[in-house]
Amino acid sequence: MVYETGNRTIDGAVERVLAGERLDRTDGLALLAQPVEELAAAADFVRARFGDGTVDACSIVNAKAGDCAEDCGFCAQSAHFDTGIDTHGFLDPEEILAAAKRAERDGAQRFGIVVAEKGVSKERRPEEWRDVIEAVRLVRDETAVEVDASLGLLTEEEAEILVDEGLNHYNHNIETSRRYFDEIVSTHDFEDRLHTLRVAKDAGMDLCAGVILGMGETPTDRVEAAIELQEIGIASFPVNVLNPVAGTPLGDADHAAISTTELVETIAVYRLLHPEARVRLTGGREVNLRPDEQHLPFEAGADGVLTGDYLTTEGQSPGADIEAMERAGLEPNMATNEFDPEAVKARDRDDSAVGTPAESARIDASDD
């Protein structure tokens, strides 16, 4: 099938993607320069050809909050910055299970166990490692959601154990391009992140790895980050937009350094560069897009979402996410979790969601 708009750059790119060819850096930069309406429509066309017409939802729990030794300039959980967040050690595995059950009820297909530290270490912190494994087992055995995790740097042994325990996806974002990375982080380097992704993939996990947009990077950085992820091979491409947090080096900005048009263009290019991945809308979209703009990324090739609250900030409610995807002509993925979308939207209207994921877990656990 020939895709024809009269825009030779876009038409040629779509034709090559449909033929199984992988676009490169030059293609990505050329596409970013095209009119946003035509680019978004082309990306949506590619999504429809490679996808299933649904939006896959994941949810996360902040399993260990704050006091992180790394100095990522966007992060409220770094011990290097005074951000005033509440900190806590690794949650009781039963609390994590409660959060997973809540996510399942709200329509998530995946549930991520996330920690704020350079890496959960089986050797240095064996008690914490045992709690991680217990939490994975509980979510695996007592819910229908697929269990994912973001645990920082991994050894080969740790990765193999996690696979044996049934961990499906490993999340480890590269955040930005190789060139710009040192402007954001100094306590570890870009190659550290790529190494962990390779270790996780070699052990048998699918990868969830993406970026944060609007941190001062250039459009070229945005494309180059996506090309790095092509080389690794990812199943899910989370796209965060900076939500500046007071106290961090990036906290003085009023908003992310990216416009709505630039965000939609970037999402569309990511779809064309990664036609078979879930391009997933994650943190920051609810503060950088107006309510009447939330559907636009779904019309530009996005087909995944991180729903509910994030690690230290409030996110978008599951009901609002379902309404945004439906406005774009898509529907929630029910392959894993046959939930009732109308019930989720009704709970949203009843304003039943309370607190951060950790707080919600404690509330739900106390109600069991």
- Binding-site residues for [4Fe-4S] cluster, in ranges, read 68, 72, 75
CB 269 within 8 A of CB 32: yes
- Select from 348, 301, 306 the least CA-distant residue to 323: 348
Which residues belong to the annotated binding site? Answer: 68, 72, 75, 208, 280
How far apart are the C-alpha atoms of 54 and 360, rounded to whole Å? 27
How far apart are the C-alpha atoms of 22 and 246, rounded to whole Å? 40
* Cβ-count burial 73-105 (b if 16+ within 10 Å, e if not): bbbbbbebbebebeeeebbbbebbbbbbbbbbb
How far apart are the C-alpha atoms of 52 and 139, rounded to whole Å? 26
Which residues belong to the annotated binding site for [2Fe-2S] cluster? Answer: 208, 280
How far apart are the C-alpha atoms of 74 and 10, rounded to whole Å? 34
- Select from 357, 329, 325, 363 the least CA-distant residue to 344: 325
Q: Which two tokens stand for residue 188?
A: 């570890």
How far apart are the C-alpha atoms of 37 and 25, rounded to whole Å? 21
CB 36 within 8 A of CB 259: no
- Select from 37, 19, 21 the least CA-distant residue to 273: 21
CB 173 within 8 A of CB 236: no
Q: CA-based angle 252:257:263, to the nearest 5?
A: 145
CB 363 within 8 A of CB 354: yes
Coil/strand/helix, residue 195: helix
How far apart are the C-alpha atoms of 72 and 311, rounded to whole Å? 14
